[in-house]
């Protein structure tokens, strides 16, 4: 089945797996998804992810979700910039997610990074999603 928004599909798979208290979830692999997963791993929102092949031979990521005292570490994961409406911000206009308790993941000219890393590198870009 063709997916119009691959990143939104991955975020929805993660959100659905967290609601069902699953320990892991799989999603088709792509470079953008890998970079977003690297940011989630660096920020401590997931345990890790590995690349494997499904039964048809296509690459996929197996994402290990993280829980603390039985509750998911990710309480909310929301797509911001969508295919029908792209959202861009300059570095000085980057929003705080839940007053700094969450992160925004950005696609910048220097790669995919969190909002804190974007501020440190003094670069703005497309806000892909918010995680808290």
pLDDT in tens, 81-100: 999 999 999 999 998 999 98
pLDDT at 57 over 80: yes
Reported confidence tier of residue 3, pLDDT bands at 50, 70, 90: confident
Other CB atoms within 10 Å distance of the CB of residue 90:
9
Position 5 pLDDT exceeds 80: yes
Q: What is the pLDDT of residue 1?
A: 60
Residue 14's CATH number: 3.30.1490.10
pTM: 0.95
Residue 73 domain flag: yes
Is residue 50 situated within a structural domain? yes
For residue 79, being part of any structural domain is answered with yes
Q: Within a domain: residue 1?
A: no
Angle formed by the axes of helices 31-42 and 6-19, nearest 10°:
40
Q: Where are the beta strands (DSSP E) in 54-94?
A: 59-65, 67-68, 71-72, 77-79, 88-89
Query: What is the Cβ-side half-sphere exposure of residue 63, based on CA atoms within 13 angstroms?
Result: 28
Closest CA relative to residue 34, chosen from 56, 13, 49: 49
Alpha-carbon distances of 19 from 42, 84, 110, rounded to whole Å = 23, 27, 33
Euclidean distance between CA atoms 13 and 77, whole angstroms: 11
Our count of domains for the chain comes to 1
> Whole domain around residue 105: which residue ranges?
6-131
Residue 68 domain-assigned (yes or no): yes
């Amino acid at each position: 089945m063709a997916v119009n928004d691959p990143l939104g599909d991955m975020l929805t798979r993660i959100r659905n797996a967290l609601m069902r208290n699953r320990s892991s979830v799989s999603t088709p692999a792509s470079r953008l998804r890998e970079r977003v997963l690297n940011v989630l791993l660096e920020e401590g929102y997931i345990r890790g992810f590995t690349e494997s092949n499904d039964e048809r031979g296509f690459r996929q990521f197996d994402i290990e979700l993280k829980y603390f005292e039985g509750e998911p570490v990710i309480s909310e994961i929301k797509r911001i910039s969508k295919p029908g409406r792209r959202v861009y911000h300059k570095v000085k206009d980057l929003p705080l997610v839940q007053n700094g308790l969450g992160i925004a993941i950005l696609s910048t000219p220097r790669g995919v990074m969190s909002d804190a890393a974007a501020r440190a590198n003094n670069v703005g870009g497309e806000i892909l999603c918010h995680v808290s």
